[in-house]
Chains A and B, each alone.
Chain A
């Protein structure tokens, strides 16, 4: 049985479990660098497990029943945190994936940085950025969202620079820094416009449905929504705001690339979903906005899928190829959002989850290649998957999953996205998306052939326990969801019920 805990206490304990590791590790580093370096991963793992256990209290089933009753959304406001089923789901899978990525980082001291005690600082900053991301998921107003957004961004700039002398990392960090900070300026301007038009910063759709908008302000409202969406799609790496993604994912360390691709980019997707669902009463009242959003999102999604796929065909570096694949899938997720139906949002949420798991899997195998060979160029890692099946099998599984092979997790969410598109009668985007899946076949099967099928006479490479455990967990989750999706579908069904309630607000 779950011991009882009021929501006020819950949010205190939850935020404590997120802040504590970064503070403890930072203090430990001041006291003793040796100690901090040795115990930082374990501390981080412990608090992540604690936070993951606490997500039981986010309790999606109970939340939905609260929304269904007369109390409705107000019950979801708990001590300044807005806890709704979508945010709860994102929080859950973010913590789960981060936990697995940290497991993969356990046994590899010395790989992350030259200096002593640097790994402790890295874990400290990682936890701060995680705090930022989770507060984005649980923020109840636009100001809190902006502050947590900045916390997340600042920490990610410094995370990319894990080795301070490394020229590629400096370059990637600067590029990301410029684009991302300007996107936060856009976000701030958009928030200011929305505040000017509506007179409130709240993200509660119930409260926004009481707002009246003067007809002369409709253009400002559209501008505000578009600017905030642009800022969020910067972080999600959607074309034309994707230029930082391949550089950052290639230059930074593989587990951190996994973190950026699997978790940080989902914050952008979540931001788009949150801003649309919160402002839905205004969007549905004014038909122009709905059409503008649908067309903008569809165009952005399709261009990002095409550009990412065609660029990925030419890549020689595995991490860069995965980065383009990530852009492609973010576009795919945005295509689901562009339907602006409950099923579309649910498909986007589910695809984010599956993409996080699969991308974490693929980037963790990249970590193995980096540790063995020091590079992820395809010609240097030929045949490693064949020599060491412990790495090769998960890699193949990840590639097949992200390709959308039935029986693995990504197939289900891609199917759901297509179903949502059919339901919204968007047949042209649907056909273009299917064409893109065909292009994707080529660039996923080529590295699979090079790494897992080609022969290269070489002795067996050594294995790292953390990486093997993490890969095993991720593979079993991928197969489990693909074969027995009922529990997760129950959860998604609750999200759908919640969204149907919100999207009927006028």
Chain B
């Protein structure tokens, strides 16, 4: 019970950190890191569900493995589009993208 509570608090902190980086940073690579942290916060919750019973459940762990691979795909596409941006503009700063405005 104590362990799962600590993990739960950790996952909440991780979500908070992710949102804080999203709001404060302008660097795209930091966004990638924040995204990864937020995805892992979700995975931790699955882990809590897995250890809530004895013996530990297998279904949440299988789910976690599928989710990790899906997240890897998302991050790969994210990084490749960042690369396209970098090759065109030579910058990773989001605040310089200001053409599409009214």
Q: List 8 A-B contacts (CB under 8 A).
A: A150-B73, A167-B88, A170-B88, A171-B99, A177-B78, A181-B35, A185-B41, A251-B100
Task: Identify which of A165, A168, A174, A191 contacts B42 (C-beta below 8 A).
Answer: A191
A479-493 vs B: 1/0 string, CB under 8 Å? 000000000000000
B61-102 vs A: 1/0 string, CB under 8 Å? 001001100100110011001101100110000100101101
For A285, list chain B residues within 8 Å (CB).
none
For A178, list chain B residues within 8 Å (CB).
22, 28, 31, 94
Q: Which residues of A are interface residues toward B (Cβ below 8 A)? A: 143, 146-147, 150, 153-154, 157-158, 161, 164-165, 167-168, 170-175, 177-178, 181-182, 184-186, 188-189, 191-193, 195-196, 199, 201, 246-247, 250-251, 311, 314-316, 320
B66 engages A158 (CB within 8 Å): no
For A251, list chain B residues within 8 Å (CB).
100
With the chains together, A503 CA to B94 CA distance in Å?
Answer: 45
Other than the known A164-B84, A186-B38, A201-B59, what 18 A-B pairs have Cβ atoms closer than 8 Å? A146-B70, A147-B66, A147-B70, A150-B73, A154-B74, A161-B81, A165-B88, A170-B81, A170-B89, A178-B94, A182-B35, A182-B38, A185-B39, A189-B11, A191-B42, A196-B45, A201-B63, A251-B100
Task: Identify which of A174, A188, A195 contacts B81 (C-beta below 8 A).
Answer: A174
For A175, list chain B residues within 8 Å (CB).
97, 100
Most chain B beta-carbon neighbours within 10 Å: one of A165, A185, A199, A320: A185
CB distance from A226 to the nearest CB of B (A): 13
A185 engages B42 (CB within 8 Å): yes
Q: Which residues of B are interface residues toward A (Cβ below 8 A)? A: 11, 15, 18, 22, 28, 31, 34-35, 38-39, 41-43, 45-46, 48-49, 52, 59-60, 63, 66-67, 70, 73-74, 77-78, 81-82, 84-85, 88-89, 94, 97, 99-100, 102
B85 engages A189 (CB within 8 Å): no
Task: Identify which of B15, B45, B49, B77 contacts A158 (C-beta below 8 A).
Answer: B77
Q: Please, which residue of chain A has its CB at the minimum distance from the CB of B18?
A: A185
A247 engages B74 (CB within 8 Å): no
With the chains together, A354 CA to B60 CA distance in Å?
Answer: 40
B49 engages A196 (CB within 8 Å): yes
B63 engages A143 (CB within 8 Å): yes
With the chains together, A314 CA to B102 CA distance in Å?
Answer: 8
Main secondary structure of the interface of A (DSSP, over half): helix
Q: Please, which residue of chain B has its CB at the minimum distance from the CB of A316?
A: B102
B99 engages A146 (CB within 8 Å): no
With the chains together, A481 CA to B89 CA distance in Å?
Answer: 48
B41 engages A168 (CB within 8 Å): no
CB distance from A153 to the nearest CB of B (A): 7
Q: Please, which residue of chain B has its CB at the minimum distance from the CB of A165?
A: B88
CB distance from B49 to the nearest CB of A (A): 5
B49 engages A199 (CB within 8 Å): yes
With the chains together, A315 CA to B102 CA distance in Å?
Answer: 7
For B31, list chain A residues within 8 Å (CB).
178
For A199, list chain B residues within 8 Å (CB).
49
With the chains together, A181 CA to B41 CA distance in Å?
Answer: 14
For A246, list chain B residues within 8 Å (CB).
100, 102
For B73, list chain A residues within 8 Å (CB).
150, 154
Quick one: given A167-B99, A182-B22, A189-B42, are A195 and B60 in contact (CB under 8 Å)? yes
Quick one: given A146-B70, A189-B38, are A195 and B100 in contact (CB under 8 Å)? no
With the chains together, A464 CA to B78 CA distance in Å?
Answer: 36
Task: Identify which of A171, A181, A189, A195 contacts B74 (C-beta below 8 A).
Answer: A181
For A195, list chain B residues within 8 Å (CB).
45-46, 49, 60, 63
